[in-house]
Structure 1
Amino acid sequence: MKLDSLLVLVVFLILFTACKDEVLPKPKAMLRLDYPEASYKKIDGDCSYTFELNTLSNIKENKDCSLVLDYPMMKGSVYLTYKPVENNLKTLLTDAQKLSYEHVVKADNIVEQPFINPEDGVYGMFYEVSGNAASQSQFYVTDSTNHFVTGSLYFYAKPNYDSILPAAVYLQKDIRRIMETLRWEE
């Protein structure tokens, strides 16, 4: 009889402790990455161009006026390359466009956005790349006679568009700011 009572007690305890609220899975959520509002400062140097730079970036200057704008918080960099125009504008434009479309294999879409600033003689193209491409943005600007600058955005990680999208959008705004504030020095 004691064994029956003990068995009933164990079954009762199991049923009593098992009667809890139903476990529900957590709803899907998106990672929220907030970056500080950008503040800019003008970059002057010995090069043939100036622009406004986000103060969150670290600048590394090469001897040929090519720059690397490093964003350690976002684990990415914008690479700027300067080339003088010496009767080679068509070749420079072809190379810049070719570089942008090398990402078409992995990209879902590439959107071209022309840039025209006739007051300051700055003309170019901004390429927004969506998908798991190596570079999320490319651009070039020129005055069509003397100066040509290309730029590319790269992250220090294997491309995963969903994960890097917030940082890519933030840095694309910086790239547009570079294009809008770029001025040629004589």
Structure 2
Amino acid sequence: MKKKNRRPWDLYHYGFGMFLFILLILLTMAGCRQDYSPKPDGYLRIDPHLETYKLVDKADFPLSFEISQSAQGIIDNTVVPEWINIVYPRYKATVYCSYIPIDKKNRTRIFAESKELVYRHGIKAEKIQAQLYENPEQHLYATLYLLAGNAATPLQFTVTDSISYLFRGALYFDIPVKRDSVAPVIEYITQDIMHLIETVQPQK
């Protein structure tokens, strides 16, 4: 029995059907593949709360002062000078602070070294702005340093009574961040540090 020859119309439908079938398989395979394309960087959640403060007056630290309710004061007495870290878990940021005893012999050297630690960042900082604070009645003298640009630390400060101690701190973020994205956090922590400076007292 002879096979019937397929008409051009039948061949057209047959070819079109095969094309659709292959296209469906390709689309299914493409949909099942995982997407390995780079994802955009995530940013910290920035929602500063109302300014409320708590007193840090631990018996094993020479100074007392007030910090934000959202921060944690963690003392490390295993090193000399004594350290206290002011941690902001919400913003993944830490202000690393150290207490350094001074006297007439080492005062000039320690002040100079402290200033040098700030201006070492001048290589990457576009500008370093120093703001002075004085309260002679409380024997309190402080400098707040604001570092603009790509410096590792955007904020540092020093507090002293000019006689017996120097208390200094520097803000660092725990993860890499873009300066523009954390500008509100830096401003918020700056206000906290200004309040800390105003409330510093030697432990009685």
1:78 is the counterpart of 2:101 = no
| Aligned counterpart for 1:128 among listed residues 135, 146, 160 | 146
**C-alpha contact (below 8 Å) 1:38/1:56 kept by paired residues:** no
Q: Could you tell me which residue of structure 2 aligns to residue 184 of structure 1?
A: 202
C-alpha distance in structure 1 between counterparts of 2:182 and 2:96, whole Å: 17
Structure 1 ranges of 4+ moved more than 3 A: none
**Matched length:** 156
Contiguous gaps of at least 5 residues in structure 2: 1-43
Shift of residue 32, structure 1, vs aligned partner: 8.6
Bigger radius of gyration: 2
| Aligned counterpart for 2:164 among listed residues 146, 168, 172 | 146
Which one has the bigger helix percentage? 2
Shift of residue 160, structure 1, vs aligned partner: 2.2
| Aligned counterpart for 1:45 among listed residues 18, 36, 58 | 58
Shift of residue 82, structure 1, vs aligned partner: 0.2
C-alpha distance in structure 1 between counterparts of 2:178 and 2:150, whole Å: 5
Q: Could you tell me which residue of structure 2 aligns to residue 3 of structure 1?
A: none
Contiguous gaps of at least 5 residues in structure 1: 1-30
The one-character-per-residue Cα deviations of 1:21-70 (angstroms, maximum 9, x if unpaired) are: xxxxxxxxxx9932111210111122221100111012211115410011
The one-character-per-residue Cα deviations of 1:121-155 (angstroms, maximum 9, x if unpaired) are: 11121101111110011111111111110110011
1:113 is the counterpart of 2:131 = yes
Structure 1 residues 107 and 120 mapped into 2: Cα distance closer, same or farther (>3 Å)? same
Q: Could you tell me which residue of structure 2 aligns to residue 91 of structure 1?
A: 109
Shift of residue 90, structure 1, vs aligned partner: 0.9
**C-alpha contact (below 8 Å) 1:103/1:133 kept by paired residues:** yes
TM-score (normalised: structure 2): 0.72
Amino acid at match of 2:157: F
